[in-house]
């Protein structure tokens, strides 16, 4: 997908920077792929696979936390581990019951797909909706608003650079004394619930059943076996294609949501994006991670909402690395209302569409009517391509055209396909959508958390707790750009606003001879990415690190606005021996606290 041209308000026509981006659809646009984002470092708007996250650097484990609910795990396939470019999961906590809905996006051959996830006890399983994830991501994604005040000096009209389109049924079996397997069918999956008290025997069984664990497989599954956890194994049913893959919903008993990140290390990419929503009656926080508030001064506020969001994702990666590689930022925390739930597709409306189509006498017209009016066209296309393979000389648009359908297929073929399509939509589209929506009811509290991590950071399974002392995190981050045309040129001042934890703080001033600045000054981007790192596991957050920043001056001395102190602060880097420095400028204290918490969990 090519990169669109961005239009900055009052700034003429600009070209969006394509650096680091593979594929995206502007989150401010409306469309079937709204909110989709892929980046070179694995950060994603729509993350593939199941959700993962990691925290401390492997000094302590979760042995004994048997009441903690896990979701996710590593991908294993017949030949090579599947690279997980990013992950999404929704947790719903009700008392000691946890529901986890995991999104699985997979590219490869259907016969090579396999997936394993540890769970604390045998779960009830069903399938969810991919379309729901798309809409949930778009409705909870951080937004960035820059309010401009004053006027810049006039500049010659700028011509936009051309955009390069390329830039952008249940049975049980006994497999010996050490491995027990229960089998069932859930949606498009053949599911195996696997129990073992012997990591070596389990690793052998998984390998013999085409779950390629790589050389680290036994090592990675052993902690879960020692914690008496069970394993859910997925493969696609015979005749199912990769287009049939749907999110998996697991319901089990546990005291808190958690993610088995250690197992995911087998297939993770560098700086893999991790996105989790936790729904309960209060705000969710990382219990054994640091909670990280980024330095919003580094966001690219000057290039429009999309560029700001893209820079925010890169900022999170840098901030997590500064914080030791294990932390979470809160994208959004607040009560679910119609601003969120009102965007979801209505399953009742889909059912009404099916009912109207079923009443049409002609099966060809009925199929075309469904395809023209249903929102999950990809799922229905996948089904129809199996039920009515596209004949030579036609393409997939045949399913939208009743006349072409009548030419290409017999009345009996069309009648059979219509009946199957209606059943498929009811069972594989409408029912999963209802189950997905039920996880996020109006009035409940939702927390969206985001991080990025690499395989070497996946050494401890993150656990999420609830901290009612912490307030909401609004979805919209705001900043103000004040402008004044003087003899020296356009003088400007950038002030952070609501949602940034630094409301009213001036972060940069400068003079520009090209009107409004194109991007943040280099000195601003060079600041540390972490504003505050804190331990949120207790009733009141404990700040581990708070970095103090001074406003950056760019292009000259500003006279149009109140003067601010831009004297640089000496930054003392932490020494390899753990030497001391300014607590407000170093992350050394964060590492020290992690060391304390590691001892606490040993």
- How confident is the model over 428-468, as pLDDT tens digits? 999 999 999 999 999 999 999 999 989 899 999 999 999 98
Distance (Å, whole) CA 81 – CA 464 = 28
Instruction: For residue range 458-511, list pLDDT tens digits in order.
Output: 999 999 999 988 999 999 999 999 999 998 889 999 999 999 999 999 999 999
Tell whether 518 is covered by a domain.
no
DSSP per-residue codes, 300-360: -GGG-HHHHHHHHHHHHHHHHHHTTS-EEEEEEEEE--HHHHTTS--HHHHHHHHHHHHT-
Q: Is the pLDDT of residue 53 over 80?
A: no
Tell whether 492 is covered by a domain.
no
Q: Is the pLDDT of residue 76 over 50?
A: no
| Token code pair at residue 539 | 């009733």
Higher pLDDT, 259 or 213: 259
Tell whether 597 is covered by a domain.
no
Q: Is the pLDDT of residue 273 over 60?
A: yes
Residue 157: the pLDDT is 52
Tell whether 567 is covered by a domain.
no
Residue 197: the pLDDT is 92
Domain final residue pick, 438, 453, 482: 438
Residue 67: the pLDDT is 53
Distance (Å, whole) CA 252 – CA 67 = 10
**One domain for residues 110 and 228:** yes
Instruction: For residue range 56-68, list pLDDT tens digits in order.
Output: 222 222 223 335 5
Distance (Å, whole) CA 98 – CA 246 = 20
Q: Is the pLDDT of residue 99 over 70?
A: yes
Cα 225–Cα 230–Cα 231 angle in degrees, nearest 5: 100
Q: What number is the average pLDDT over the span 118-132?
A: 94
Q: 205-209, 525-529, 583-587: lowest mean pLDDT where?
A: 583-587
**One domain for residues 251 and 319:** yes
Bridge-based pairing state of the strands 290-294 and 327-335: parallel
pLDDT category of residue 168 using cuts at 50, 70 and 90: very low
Q: 260-269, 485-494, 523-532, 562-571: lowest mean pLDDT where?
A: 562-571
Distance (Å, whole) CA 423 – CA 441 = 27
**One domain for residues 253 and 398:** no
**One domain for residues 113 and 198:** yes
Q: Identify the CA nearest to 290 among candidates 591, 575, 588, 599.
A: 591
Task: Kindly report whether the global pTM for this prediction surpasses the value 0.85.
Answer: no
Q: Is the pLDDT of residue 392 over 60?
A: yes
**One domain for residues 230 and 357:** no
Percent of the chain at pLDDT exceeding 70: 76
Can you tell me whether residue 418 is helix, strand or coil?
helix
Give the CA dihedral 97, 105, 375, 392, nearest 10 degrees.
-150
Q: Is the pLDDT of residue 552 over 80?
A: yes
**One domain for residues 301 and 370:** no
**One domain for residues 389 and 403:** yes
Can you tell me whether residue 33 is helix, strand or coil?
coil
Q: 186-195, 219-228, 398-407, 549-558: lowest mean pLDDT where?
A: 549-558
Tell whether 593 is covered by a domain.
no
**One domain for residues 380 and 408:** yes
Mean pLDDT (the chain) is 78
**One domain for residues 317 and 433:** no
Range from 33-37, 156-160, 524-528 that averages highest in pLDDT: 524-528
Higher pLDDT, 527 or 591: 527
**One domain for residues 81 and 204:** yes
Range from 13-17, 109-113, 132-136 that averages highest in pLDDT: 132-136
Q: Is the dihedral of CA 415, 421, 423, 426 positive or negative?
A: negative
Tell whether 511 is covered by a domain.
no
pLDDT category of residue 336 using cuts at 50, 70 and 90: very high
**One domain for residues 56 and 127:** yes
Looking at the 3D structure of the chain, how many domains does it have? 2
Residue 573: the pLDDT is 40
**One domain for residues 300 and 363:** no
Q: 72-76, 173-177, 338-342, 405-409: lowest mean pLDDT where?
A: 72-76
Q: What number is the average pLDDT over the span 519-526?
A: 91
Distance (Å, whole) CA 216 – CA 7 = 49
pLDDT category of residue 71 using cuts at 50, 70 and 90: low
Distance (Å, whole) CA 84 – CA 479 = 35
Q: Which domain does 384 fall in, by range?
A: 347-438
């Amino acid at each position: 997908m090519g990169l669109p041209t961005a239009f900055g308000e009052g700034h003429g026509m600009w070209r969006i920077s394509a650096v680091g981006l593979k594929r995206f659809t502007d989150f401010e646009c409306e469309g079937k792929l709204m909110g989709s984002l892929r980046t070179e470092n694995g950060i994603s708007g729509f993350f593939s696979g199941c959700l993962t996250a990691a925290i401390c650097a492997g000094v302590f484990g979760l042995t004994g936390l048997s009441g903690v609910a896990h979701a996710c795990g590593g991908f294993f396939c017949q030949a090579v581990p599947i690279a997980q470019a990013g992950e999404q999961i929704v947790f719903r906590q009700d008392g000691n019951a946890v529901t986890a809905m995991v999104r699985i996006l997979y590219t490869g051959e259907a016969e090579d797909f396999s997936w394993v996830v540890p769970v604390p006890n045998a779960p009830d399983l069903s399938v969810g909706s991919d379309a729901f994830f798309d809409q949930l991501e778009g409705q909870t994604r951080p937004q960035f608003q820059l309010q401009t005040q004053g006027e810049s000096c006039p500049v010659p009209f700028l011509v936009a650079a051309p955009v390069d389109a390329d830039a952008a049924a249940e049975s049980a079996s006994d497999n010996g004394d050490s491995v027990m397997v229960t089998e069932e069918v859930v949606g498009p999956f053949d599911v195996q619930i696997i129990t073992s008290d012997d990591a070596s025997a389990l690793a052998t069984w998984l390998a013999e059943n085409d779950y390629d664990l790589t050389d680290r497989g036994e090592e990675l599954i052993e902690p879960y076996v020692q914690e008496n956890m069970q394993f859910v194994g997925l493969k696609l049913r015979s005749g199912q294609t990769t287009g049939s893959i749907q999110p998996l919903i697991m319901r089990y008993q546990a005291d808190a949501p958690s993610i088995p990140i250690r197992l995911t290390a087998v297939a993770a990419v560098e700086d893999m994006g991790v996105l989790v929503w936790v729904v309960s009656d209060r705000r969710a926080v990382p219990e054994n991670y640091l909670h990280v508030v980024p330095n919003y001064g580094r966001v690219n506020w000057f290039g429009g909402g999309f560029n700001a969001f893209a820079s925010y994702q890169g900022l999170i990666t840098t901030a997590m690395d500064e914080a030791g590689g294990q932390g979470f930022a809160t994208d959004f925390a607040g009560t679910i209302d119609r601003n969120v739930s009102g965007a979801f597709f209505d399953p009742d409306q889909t059912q009404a569409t099916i009912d109207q189509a079923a009443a049409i006498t002609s099966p060809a017209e009925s199929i075309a009517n469904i395809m023209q009016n249903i929102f999950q066209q990809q799922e229905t296309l996948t089904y129809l391509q199996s039920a009515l393979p596209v004949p030579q000389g036609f393409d997939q648009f045949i399913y939208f055209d009743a006349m072409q359908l009548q030419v290409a297929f017999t009345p009996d073929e069309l009648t059979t396909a219509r009946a199957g399509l209606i059943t498929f939509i009811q069972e594989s589209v409408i029912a999963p959508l209802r189950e997905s929506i039920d996880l996020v009811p109006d009035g409940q509290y939702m927390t969206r958390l985001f991080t990025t991590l690499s395989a070497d950071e996946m050494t401890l399974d993150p656990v999420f707790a609830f901290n009612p002392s912490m307030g909401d995190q609004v979805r919209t981050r705001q900043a103000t750009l004040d402008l004044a045309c003087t003899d020296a040129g356009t003088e400007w001042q950038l002030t952070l606003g609501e949602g940034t934890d630094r409301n009213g703080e001036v972060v940069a001033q400068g003079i520009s001879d090209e009107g409004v600045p194109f991007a943040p000054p280099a000195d601003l981007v060079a600041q540390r990415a972490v504003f505050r790192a804190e331990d949120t596991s207790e009733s009141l957050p404990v700040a581990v690190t708070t970095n103090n920043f001074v406003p950056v001056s760019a292009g000259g001395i500003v006279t149009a606005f109140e003067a601010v102190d831009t004297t640089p602060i000496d930054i003392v880097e932490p020494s390899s021996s753990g030497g001391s420095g300014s607590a407000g400028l170093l992350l050394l204290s964060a590492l020290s606290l992690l060391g304390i918490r590691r001892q606490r969990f040993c």
